[in-house]
Amino acid sequence: MGILLAVIIILFWATHLLYSLLYVQTTMANPWMWFHMLVQGYLYTGLFITAHDAMHGTVSANRKINNSLGWLAAFLFAGMLFPRLRRKHMLHHQFPGTEKDPDFNERHQNFWLWWFGFMKNYVTWYQLIIMAVLFNLLAIIFPQPAIFTFWVIPAFLGTLQLFYYGTYIPHRKPHTPDMDIHRTRTQKRNHLKAMLTCYFFGYHHEHHLFPRIPWWRLYQTKEQQT
């Protein structure tokens, strides 16, 4: 199931991006432009969730397939390097909500300051060069306004969605006793909301308790924990 869902998300992301670039008119008055931009942002989130599951080895029991899909999803998301992401994410699980956690900001709990520090910690010059090259290659075929609307902006929307539901809400202070050693809170049981907001990633305490559970089974884990 993990391989199938990973392939579906990647194909949906690619086909919807191509459709939007080719056929959706980029005018402020066009409601379909906003709709497809938001859909593409949600699919970007799905790309990272796929890469995230691959970091935990839950996309496939076959290591080569798992890592290949993780590498592809991370690269498509924003030219990110899968091995580097995995190293940082393992530190996050080892030292959640502390100074050693690369996702946490001990100094700033303000959303935007934390998000800026988060991005600074993950974005590399290599990544920016890759994205610049890809942008110019896309610009040979597609109008630049369409590229910004359906390729650039949705990537930022996906980043904000992932940061808000996967880092800021679950890990921000105050750290209360019920968050235990994982320093992680969780979303209340509402599977539809959890899926629409961040592919069940809001069930974040459950994820930290059982990191080998794939995203599409987190709702079952939530039921068991409840």
Per-position b or e across 47-65, b if 16+ CB within 10 A of its CB = bbbbbbbbbbbbbbeeeee
Q: How many domains does the structure of the chain reveal? A: 1
Residue indicated by tokens 């369409």: 146
- pLDDT tens for the chain, residues 1 to 226: 999 999 999 999 999 999 999 999 999 999 999 999 999 999 999 999 999 999 999 999 999 999 999 999 999 999 999 999 999 999 999 999 888 999 998 888 899 999 998 998 899 999 999 999 999 999 999 999 999 999 999 999 999 999 999 999 999 988 888 888 889 999 999 999 999 999 999 999 999 999 999 999 999 999 887 7
CA distances from 44 to 17, 109, 162, 198 (A): 10, 25, 10, 11
pTM across the whole model: 0.95
Q: Which domain holds residue 196?
A: 2-225
Query: What is d(CA 197, CA 47) in angstroms, rounded to the nearest whole number?
Result: 14
